[in-house]
Amino acid sequence: MTAEAWQIVFFTIEVSALSTLLILPLGVAVAWLIARREWPGKAVVETMAMLPLFVPPVATGLLLLMLFSRRGPLGSMLQRGFGWDIVFTWRAVVLACAVMSFPLLVRTAQAAFEGVSARFEDIARTLGASEWRVFATISLPLAARGIVAGAVLAFARAMGEFGATAIVAGMIPRKTMTISLSIYQNIQLGHDAAALPLLFVSIGIVFITVLCGQIITMRKRPR
């Protein structure tokens, strides 16, 4: 593999890991709120969190482009507040990966929280624990394996993200080029041989990642 191909691989791993870390706190919070609380608008939020799974990725990319371009409502705010450009930068790649992998994290973490017996949480309350302590010391540790498995899935999804990234970040060499984008570009240019190493590396990374997720999920855990 060329130095450029390795740069693409490491860049893809970095943005995938960063996007997973970014969505982790929000994803866990949303998953817990859906699994454990009744509140007005819950069904709407639950549906919205799942939308990226079903809306065409390029449509999601277009929406992100409209929101985060310099003239967009969020993009202009970030530009004014922090001097950040989002669209067609590495930040756009992270953003697209985060949005597209969010539903996988939420769904898996939600199932993990639902799998924790509510009786443990009830008894912790009778032992004097505040709601925050119940979450931090009972719900979260008992759901931890499911949450880690969700994060692994989100990372794997981010590794393979293409449609939304292509629209909102473009295919700029050494700036926004990920494995998926590079494979696509090489094939478009007729450089199939250059795409092959990236293909195998990408399959290898995702295989190991998903396998780790499966092992974590399958390991017997106390209930």
Alpha-helical segments (H) within the chain: 3-36, 42-54, 57-68, 73-82, 90-114, 118-126, 131-134, 140-159, 163-169, 179-188, 192-218
Work out whether 222 is an interface residue with other proteins (CB under 8 A).
yes
Which stretch in 8-16, 40-48, 138-146, 167-175 sits in contact with other proteins by CB under 8 A? 138-146
Q: What are residue 219's phi and psi, to 5 degrees?
A: -60, 135
Beta carbon of residue 69, minimum distance to other proteins (angstroms, whole number): 46
**Binding-site residue total for other proteins (CB under 8 A)?**
18
What mask, x for binding other proteins by CB under 8 A, covers residues 139 to 168? Answer: --xx--------------------------
What mask, x for binding other proteins by CB under 8 A, covers residues 15 to 54? Answer: ----------------------------------------
Rule CB under 8 A: choose which of 48, 123, 187, 215 binds other proteins.
123
Residue 200, judged by CB atoms within 10 A of its CB (0-12, 13-18, 19+), counts as: exposed
- Cβ-based neighbours of 35, under 8 Å, separated by 6 or more: 110, 113, 114
Residues at the contact surface with other proteins, assessed by CB under 8 A: 117, 119-120, 122-130, 137-138, 141-142, 222-223
